[in-house]
Structure 1
Amino acid sequence: MARDSIVILGAGIIGLNVALELSKRGYGRHITVIAKHLPGDVHVDYTSPWAGANFSGISGNDPNALRWDKAGYLSLMQLIDSGAEEARYLSKTQSIEYWDEQPSPEKIQSVTEYLRDVETIPKAELPPNVAFGLRFTTITLNAPAHCMHLKSLLSQDRYGSIKFVRHTVQSLQDAFISSNTKIVFNCIGNAAITLPGVQDPKCYPTRGQIVLVQAPSVKQNVMRHGKDYETYIIPRPDSDSTVILGGYLQKGDSDSNVREHERQSILQRTGDLLPVLKNGETKILKVAVGFRPSRQDGARVEREEIHAGRTVVHNYGAGGTGYQAGMGMALDAVNLVKDILDSLPLRSTL
């Protein structure tokens, strides 16, 4: 089989979630994933493996972001609860999150409706200069292992033997790999800035720097959301006690060099937030830089007809929320072309 009716452009977590959603609906055997970088690669321009990867309050307050977050949280929890193979590198983790400024009422109302074990932290228990806090059960992911695991699963026969091809397209049109290609899912992240046929002026990179450590005593997720910064401590499941410490949100900064003063700041801030990091057991493994694929006004999930019989579904610009919102975005993206998908033959679903 040619597997060319559906092309997914991009193999980060956004593209992988689209492939998974299509596979579950029985369309796996029609799919080719084309990407410059594939799971297992280590490159500064391949953002997904660098993620702390959790569910948090980092996302925006617009209705789409709130809806995608809810769908993502519930979908990931369902995978864990059911013991699904896709949940191999996911874990339920206790979380504490602080906000320096009061979150919007819409944000608080939305998340408290579905987060498990959620409770507002009494003001007397908040650190200095913190306006609001929540405790709840979050989801943490081992980002690089999860992406590689999804690729492995999606390549299997019962998922449709989805084909993965390492290739760099020169334009969006190049993703229509044959006359049979009906749908291209555009999940290219930061490449949306420059790829001919997309070149979205609303897109920009948001630089982040993290410190990967081994810290056996860290068992919880802790975050503090500031006006111009993020401090976070995110344990990685099934990773020999490794923990992601961060971080930075530097809009439009594309410098890939590690900055020593930022490393020191991360260690200081995270140690203040969770003093157990200063118990002498914490071992620095790596310092890394990555670029969140951000977009003014939020992610773009939109259908576009570029020629008769050629449809693109844009699905990019999630910023730092790809892991928590990606499954919700995938649901919307796939539903946008249900009419075309209905014309393709199905195999039995998972």
Structure 2
Amino acid sequence: MSEGRPVQVVILGAGVIGLTIAHTLLTTSPNAYNIKISFASPWAGANWSPIRSFEERTRTWERATFNKMWELIPQGLAMALPSRVFFTTNEDLSQLWYKDLVRDGGIAFKTFSVNPELYLPWLQSELLARGVEFVRRRVHSLGEAVALAGPNSVLVNATGLGARSLVGVEDTDVFPIRGQTIIVHAPGLKEFISLPLGTGTQGQATYIIPRPSPPGEVLLGGTFQPDNWDTSLDVPTAKGIFERCAALAPQLKDAETRVLRHNVGLRPARKGGPRVEAAWTDVPLKSELLPLRESDVGAEGRVLLVHAYGFGAAGYQNSWGAAQEVTDLIASKLNN
């Protein structure tokens, strides 16, 4: 690479992981990268809540993200939330891995929430202000993406569920976890309340997440249904979500509560956990399944191929920590 010349970076996928990687690259090395990126849907719950975490790598991501989100509270982008988790079995509370991460830790603690419909546009606006180019182009294969990036560039694959069907990646370990939620106006609710994941009937997840804005907006969840690709609204499920949440917070049945909308989304999970890695790869990449068009072949060389996908339900609460690891990986590979 030429000294002082920005490295071309193409990020495939613009969910919270892709956008946060772009932000971290530019704030870590403001003049080192020229970035192109594209869009995703903001339907996640987007708070920090306890998820069993057995790997120190994941816990590192969680710590970094929690602390970064806490810093955003004064800007109104995140909201501090008193929180309670109701355990239905005997738990050794002294062994809760997150007790020293959350504020005032325990079964009652302080966490944060964000509204993805406001948070992702904020990230986008920050990136636009830093010169990031957002492009819309349907990419079917890794070879096409590499041709778009060009030789001696960085290609970040943050496609989520798309990593399963992106020709050249075809990661069959990627699978969806169906999430159905309800957004309500319930101004009396001021705390995050949940049951531990796995409590109740298989596929249920019960949680209440007040959002920082608009005022009074609360997310009620939900479902946690692996390998379910159905994105249609299930009415009995919606009724069950409301009743389970009302059992934890009876004020949901007050007259001032209004249902605003129903959301159904697919969390992009992966067997064995998230894939975060980087390696130099020779180009052009060829595929028997989808040959490159002559115009996409480009010059010969190599590209730094980075994978960052498979975070499942923890995308938001892993985002800043994972983005920092990706940024460090890119810097180390470019300097070798």
Provide TM-score, normalisation by structure 2.
0.85
- Aligned AA (1:268): E
Compute the displacement of 1:202 (Å): 0.9
Match of 1:334 in 2: 327
Compute the displacement of 1:61 (Å): 2.6
User: Structure 1, residues 226-262: CA drift from partner, whole Å, max 9, x if none?
Assistant: 4233101111112131111010000000011100110
CA contact (8 A) 1:68 1:329 kept: yes
CA contact (8 A) 2:7 2:154 kept: no
- Aligned AA (2:11): I
Match of 1:135 in 2: 108
- Aligned AA (2:328): N
Q: Which moved more, 1:51-60 or 1:325-334?
A: 51-60
CA contact (8 A) 1:10 1:33 kept: no
Compute the displacement of 1:161 (Å): 0.9
Instruction: Give the Cα–Cα distance (whole angstroms) in 2 for the partners of residues 59 and 111 of structure 1.
Output: 9
Match of 1:154 in 2: 127
Q: Which moved more, 1:306-315 or 1:287-296?
A: 306-315
Match of 2:288 in 1: none
User: Structure 1, residues 269-289: CA drift from partner, whole Å, max 9, x if none?
Assistant: 000011111222110111121
In the TM superposition, 1:48-197 aligns within 5 A as 49-80=42-73, 83=74, 87-101=75-89, 108=96, 110-119=97-106, 134-156=107-129, 160-176=130-146, 177-197=148-168
Gaps in structure 1 of 5+ consecutive residues: 39-45, 120-133, 344-350
Match of 1:287 in 2: 262
- Aligned AA (1:152): S
SS in 2 for 1:5: strand
Instruction: Give the Cα–Cα distance (whole angstroms) in 1 for the partners of residues 84 and 93 of structure 2.
Output: 19
Percentage of pairs with the same residue: 32
Pick from 218, 222, 225 the counterpart of residue 196 of structure 2: 225
In the TM superposition, 1:3-22 aligns within 5 A as 5-22=8-25
CA contact (8 A) 1:30 1:162 kept: no
Q: Which moved more, 1:297-306 or 1:266-275?
A: 297-306
Instruction: Give the Cα–Cα distance (whole angstroms) in 2 for the partners of residues 141 and 205 of structure 1.
Output: 22
Q: Which moved more, 1:134-143 or 1:88-97?
A: 88-97
Instruction: Give the Cα–Cα distance (whole angstroms) in 1 for the partners of residues 308 and 262 of structure 2.
Output: 29
Instruction: Give the Cα–Cα distance (whole angstroms) in 2 for the partners of residues 102 and 183 of structure 1.
Output: 48
Match of 2:178 in 1: 207
User: Structure 1, residues 157-211: CA drift from partner, whole Å, max 9, x if none?
Assistant: xxx3111111221212222324355211111111011101211111100001011
Instruction: Give the Cα–Cα distance (whole angstroms) in 2 for the partners of residues 5 and 340 of structure 1.
Output: 14
CA contact (8 A) 1:28 1:162 kept: no
Query: Structure 1 pair 233/178, CA: closer, same or farther in 2 (3 Å)?
Result: closer
- Aligned AA (1:267): F
- Aligned AA (2:223): Y
Query: Structure 1 pair 101/65, CA: closer, same or farther in 2 (3 Å)?
Result: farther
Instruction: Give the Cα–Cα distance (whole angstroms) in 1 for the partners of residues 90 and 20 of structure 2.
Output: 32
Query: Structure 1 pair 32/135, CA: closer, same or farther in 2 (3 Å)?
Result: same
User: Structure 1, residues 1-23: CA drift from partner, whole Å, max 9, x if none?
Assistant: x9771111111100011011001
Compute the displacement of 1:27 (Å): 4.0
Pick from 303, 307, 316 the counterpart of residue 309 of structure 2: 316
User: Structure 1, residues 260-319: CA drift from partner, whole Å, max 9, x if none?
Assistant: 110110000000011111222110111121000011111111113321531111111110
Q: If you compute each CA radius of gyration, which structure gives the higher value, 1 or 2?
A: 2
Match of 2:252 in 1: 277
Instruction: Give the Cα–Cα distance (whole angstroms) in 1 for the partners of residues 208 and 311 of structure 2.
Output: 21
Match of 1:257 in 2: 232
Query: Structure 1 pair 101/230, CA: closer, same or farther in 2 (3 Å)?
Result: farther
Compute the displacement of 1:216 (Å): 0.9
- Aligned AA (1:337): I
SS in 1 for 2:105: strand
- Aligned AA (1:73): F
- Aligned AA (2:17): I
Compute the displacement of 1:225 (Å): 1.7
CA contact (8 A) 2:160 2:268 kept: yes
Query: Structure 1 pair 301/101, CA: closer, same or farther in 2 (3 Å)?
Result: farther
